Structure 1
């Protein structure tokens, strides 16, 4: 195994307020899927939701909390405005989560929330997402999520991915 030292360069995401969201999205899309010819920029207003740990009931069966189900449904409704039908094939997903406070959160749990909420709405199944980027930022005035979804070329072809059994389809 080899390692390489990386030096700090210019930021992928420019500092500033909401007026720079389009530029952030453009840069994010070009970094995730430079060859993409189709993509969407979606703003999700409000405090970014995070995926909660599963709960376990009798017999050890896992289930989602009511709060998690409601948050996923709310995000799903917002995603329905952007997608007429679920996209198929490989996808790249980039998200900038602007939180209103400095509470400790995991970017991967916020991405998982978006991935699960988009199943059957923006994409057939979140296994189609073959490139991911997430970053957490602070904006006490206007919390939001800036989401970019693009077609993505990968050697792992997800064109014929069937819907998951038991899922929202």
Structure 2
């Protein structure tokens, strides 16, 4: 039986196995991060193969809303500092920015249950990687974010991989020259 093309499960039908977060990303501490990264890379870009894994220690930072004042819009000092710190932690993994379509996946291990939007956590990573891991975050044509709790070892497990998409971003290198701050 279907409703608008979606199957409806009746009470007398056998249930299908339930997919849980732990069946997609293994439970455990930092010792499971490599296994999580491998699974995440496979989900982001099946069959692509190569990917980079970066573990960013500390409580994950969420991008704040831009503030208006003095006739202009600006980032908070906290956002600038957090982006600079994340950028410095990305540098060792990327000799030069990757070109073309990319996908990012992140598991954000937060120290508390404080409410935070996953999209703001991803936006922070995307902006921090501009000119370091990728030329511009417009190259990111796939993304996936997961929130987890780890009060002992808060961190961000980041996976960056090539991504196949009909939205070709191979021209970004020519359109936006890289500007690396020193």
TM-score, normalized by the shorter chain, greater than 0.5:
yes
Partner of 2:176: 163
What secondary structure sits across from 1:78 in the alignment?
A: helix
What secondary structure sits across from 1:72 in the alignment?
A: helix
Q: Does 1:89 align with 2:100?
A: yes
1:163 CA drift (Å): 1.5
Structure 2: unaligned runs, 5 residues or longer: 10-15
State whether residues 35 and 153 of structure 1, in contact with CA within 8 Å, keep that contact through their aligned partners in structure 2: no
1:14 CA drift (Å): 1.3
Structure 1: unaligned runs, 5 residues or longer: none
1:4 CA drift (Å): 5.3
State whether residues 44 and 144 of structure 1, in contact with CA within 8 Å, keep that contact through their aligned partners in structure 2: yes
Deviates more, 1:115-124 or 1:5-14: 5-14
In structure 2, do the counterparts of structure 1 residues 127 and 5 end up closer, same or farther at CA, with 3 Å as the change threshold?
farther
Q: Does 1:9 align with 2:19?
A: yes
What secondary structure sits across from 1:81 in the alignment?
A: helix
Instruction: Give structure 1 regions of 4+ aligned residues with deviation exceeding 2 angstroms.
Output: 1-8
Q: Does 1:113 align with 2:124?
A: yes
1:22 CA drift (Å): 0.5
1:58 CA drift (Å): 2.3
State whether residues 43 and 144 of structure 1, in contact with CA within 8 Å, keep that contact through their aligned partners in structure 2: yes
- 1:48-80, CA deviations, whole angstroms, 9 ceiling, x for partnerless residues? 111011100122x21000111000000000001
1:2 CA drift (Å): 4.5
Structure 2 Cα separation of the partners of residues 58 and 100 of structure 1: 36
1:15 CA drift (Å): 1.3
What secondary structure sits across from 2:35 in the alignment?
A: helix
Structure 1 Cα separation of the partners of residues 112 and 61 of structure 2: 13
Structure 2 Cα separation of the partners of residues 151 and 5 of structure 1: 36
Larger Rg: 2
Q: TM-score, normalised by structure 1?
A: 0.92
Structure 2 Cα separation of the partners of residues 129 and 69 of structure 1: 21
1:168 CA drift (Å): 4.7
Partner of 2:163: 152
